[in-house]
Amino acid sequence: MISSIKGKLTQVTDAYALIENGGVYYEIMLPSALAERLKNNGKIGSEMEFKTIYYIEAGDKKSNYYPRLVGFTSAVDKEFFALFTQVPGLGVKKALKSLVLPIKDIAAAIETKNADTLCQLPGVGKRLADKIIAELNGKTSKYALYKIKEPLAINKTKKSLGPIEKEAIEILLQLQYKRTEAEQMIAEVMKNSPKITKVEDLISLIFNNEQKRTDSIDNKGTY
């Protein structure tokens, strides 16, 4: 079992990283948003440690099997992913592509049995969302308290942004939000209020959503 790899980060693509350790190069599958952050933050060439999950992937033929490594820079991300992929029908590759919401939001949806939110994840329909809730409800509450707001994957099926959404993104970027965070916050509001015509109203609803989320976390932490 390979649970962690430390070495020189030599290459990052949209899907994997190469780590060199003692002359051996390890290919590590990554969620797409994490891969993008590593490229944009200038991590290539530096020393990195990935928390890894080792699994065997079946090939096209039943006799072909391939060892794979999935990597994360956070032990919490790895732990949640290992739990998430225990759901039947949610394989490793599908799960990697599905994490377009922050882990805290996915966990909150599981704990509040909010299947509609889970259906926002690529590859997750109503039946699979219900199965995720049935399998994991009561097991993910600690992840709903996770402070990290950045999703691990990029939603590659998202529609093009309108002028109001683009203006809102620029405002959120000025307020030090990451682009992926801003896009997700806007998408959440536009899904529920598609007829918004003013950027001020859009920003106001984003604030309300964030306030509700903060209040929910505070209430869960009160005993």
Enumerate the domain spans of the chain: 1-73, 75-153, 163-211
pLDDT of residue 60: 64
Q: For 199-215, b where at least 16 C-beta lie within 10 A, e where not — what string?
A: beebbebbeeeeeebee
pTM of the model: 0.69
Q: For residue range 62-93, what is the model confidence (pLDDT) as tens digits?
A: 667 888 999 999 999 999 999 999 999 899 99
Q: Do domains 1-73 and 75-153 have the same CATH topology?
A: no
**Do 155 and 120 meet the contact criterion of CB atoms below 8 Å apart?**
no
pLDDT of residue 50: 96
Q: In Å, how far from its chain's centre is CA 149?
A: 9
Helix, strand, coil in percent for the chain, rounding step 5: 45, 20, 35
pLDDT of residue 195: 85
Paired strand residues for 49: 6
**Do 33 and 150 meet the contact criterion of CB atoms below 8 Å apart?**
yes
Q: Which two tokens stand for residue 176?
A: 């030090």
Paired strand residues for 65: 58
Name the packing angle between helices 103-111 and 199-220 (round to 10°).
60
Mean model confidence pLDDT for the chain: 88
List alpha helices for 14-162, DSSP H: 32-40, 75-84, 92-98, 103-111, 115-118, 126-136
The CATH number given to 75-153 is: 1.10.150.20
CA pair distance 157, 178, nearest whole angstrom: 19
CA pair distance 151, 99, nearest whole angstrom: 6
Q: Which two tokens stand for residue 92?
A: 């490793």
pLDDT of residue 47: 94
Q: For residue range 84-120, what is the model confidence (pLDDT) as tens digits?
A: 999 998 999 999 999 999 999 999 999 999 998 999 8
Q: For residue range 166-219, what is the model confidence (pLDDT) as tens digits?
A: 899 899 989 988 777 888 888 888 888 888 889 999 999 999 888 887 776 566
pLDDT of residue 219: 63
The CATH number given to 1-73 is: 2.40.50.140
pLDDT of residue 2: 85
